[in-house]
Structure 1
Amino acid sequence: MDTVRAAFRDECARLEQELRDLTGADLDRPTRCPPWTVRDLLAHVATGVGRLADMLAGPAPERAEVDAAGYFGAAKFTPQVDRDRIDSARRQAPAGVPEVVAGFARAWRATDAAVAAAPAGRLVRTRHGDAMTLTEFLRTRVVEVGVHGLDLADALDRRAWLTPTAAEVVADLLRAGRRVPGWDALTLVRKATGRAPLTDAERALLDRAGLRGLSFGG
């Protein structure tokens, strides 16, 4: 939990910092997650990082049934679920930069406070019905804010700001204990999540390594 929480805090704090010099025009830029603009994607990320506060206010399931990798299984992200997710972000997207910054800051800090107050070994139930340990669900939040941070950096023509702690958490989830020689954590995350092109040789390397595929849906 200490490692995952540190990654969550580091990555959220860095994204909050990056948001502070956005312009209104920046919010309307397209992203690689169509039809979302930067504004829409930020609404999705803010909603995603803020989920844990409400989850921890609810009853705990009796036992964990899914880990972070299982949470990102493709089966739950049906076309209808995906449409609802897309429409929800567009409806909730703030109008201006101050609202974007304040909303994201409020969401991640509420989650961090709720995690700090939770007892060790706490279990949670996700909006998809998955019963998970708090640590494993927080790991999915690191993936969401970290990988979508790459999307935002690209949309804003900025250098990727993925923090070292978050990069290692995401890379460890993708590797599942396997070795991928020659790539640092940032390169691995970019390549394995489709945020950077793959050559045929690189694709074969990923296949040989048996890296996990993750379906993103928040």
Structure 2
Amino acid sequence: MDLFSRSLGELLDVVERLTDEDFGRPSGCAGWLVRDLVCHFVIDAQDVLITLVTPAPDEPTHDAVTYWRVAHEPADDPLSALTVRLAQAYGEPWMLKFHVDDVGRAAQRAAGLAAPDARVRTQDMVLTAAGYLGAYVWEWTLHHLDLVAHLPRHAGPSAEALARCREVLEQIAGTAFPAGFSDTDVLLVGTGRRAPTAAERAELGELEIPFVLG
């Protein structure tokens, strides 16, 4: 749960330092500008706030790993186009920066107040609060990489967050990625954000990639 708050905080700190020009640059999410990705953070933070106040009496059905649905081909996401239109509606970058900081810091505070073993419901799943927030470490970390993909002057995710997300992807894959892959390479190649080099492809062997998590 602490890693959730730290990874979200690091992400929000980068957004705060973005220039107006940065918002018009491409992100690591195919088809999305930085502006669109930051708008997605607003929606994610709202989801966190909603879920943490949606208690469930049932036993947990999922955890921080099984929360993610896995495919090997991207699926059509109707919310993607909506996110782009919503991002455009903000008009000025400062409006979007203000909103994402407002709801993002609120999500941080809510996470700090949540009981780790409290059960919450989201998307027909029941998780402990700790499991749910643990799942979101993946979301913040991968999208932090997306945010700085074409903005090299900004810092990327922490080593701790990258290592944790590598563990998640390896649990999903059912095998470890080659030791020569950095944690960042594992996430970028494993999710199809970067094509493997010929040497990397040889090291990966028969491991099927990318893993599209949603």
Tell me whether the two structures share a fold, i.e. TM-score over 0.5. yes
* Selected match of 2:156 from 157, 161, 184: 161
What residue number does 1:194 align with? 192
What residue number does 1:15 align with? 11
CA deviations 1:171-211 (Å, max 9, x no partner) are 11012285432233223222222233312442353456x68
* Selected match of 1:51 from 20, 31, 47: 47
Do the aligned residues in 1 keep the contact of 2:120 with 2:128 (CA within 8 Å)? yes
What residue number does 1:101 align with? 97
Distance 1:161 1:58, change over 3 A: same
Alignment pair present for 1:122 and 2:118? yes
What residue number does 1:146 align with? 141
Aligned counterparts of 1:212 and 1:64: Cα–Cα separation in 2 = 29
What residue number does 1:205 align with? 203
Q: CA RMSD in A?
A: 2.7
Aligned counterparts of 2:68 and 2:201: Cα–Cα separation in 1 = 21
CA deviations 1:47-79 (Å, max 9, x no partner) are 21332221121231402112333332147x853
Aligned counterparts of 2:210 and 2:128: Cα–Cα separation in 1 = 21
AA at the equivalent of 1:215? V
Aligned counterparts of 2:213 and 2:104: Cα–Cα separation in 1 = 19
* Selected match of 2:23 from 27, 48, 58: 27
Identity of aligned residues (%): 28
Aligned counterparts of 2:157 and 2:116: Cα–Cα separation in 1 = 28
The SS at the match of 2:18 is coil
Do the aligned residues in 2 keep the contact of 1:22 with 1:97 (CA within 8 Å)? no
AA at the equivalent of 1:104? V
What residue number does 2:82 align with? 88
Aligned counterparts of 1:112 and 1:168: Cα–Cα separation in 2 = 21
Between stretches 61-70 and 177-186, larger displacement belongs to 177-186
What residue number does 1:215 align with? 212
Report which of the two has the higher share of helix. Answer: 1
In structure 2, runs of 5+ residues without a counterpart are: none
What residue number does 1:182 align with? 180
Distance 1:44 1:145, change over 3 A: same
What residue number does 1:172 align with? 167
Do the aligned residues in 2 keep the contact of 1:46 with 1:103 (CA within 8 Å)? yes
Query: How far apart are 1:40 and its partner, in Å?
Result: 1.0
AA at the equivalent of 1:149? H
Count matched residues. Answer: 207
Aligned counterparts of 1:196 and 1:212: Cα–Cα separation in 2 = 11
Query: How far apart are 1:161 and its partner, in Å?
Result: 0.9
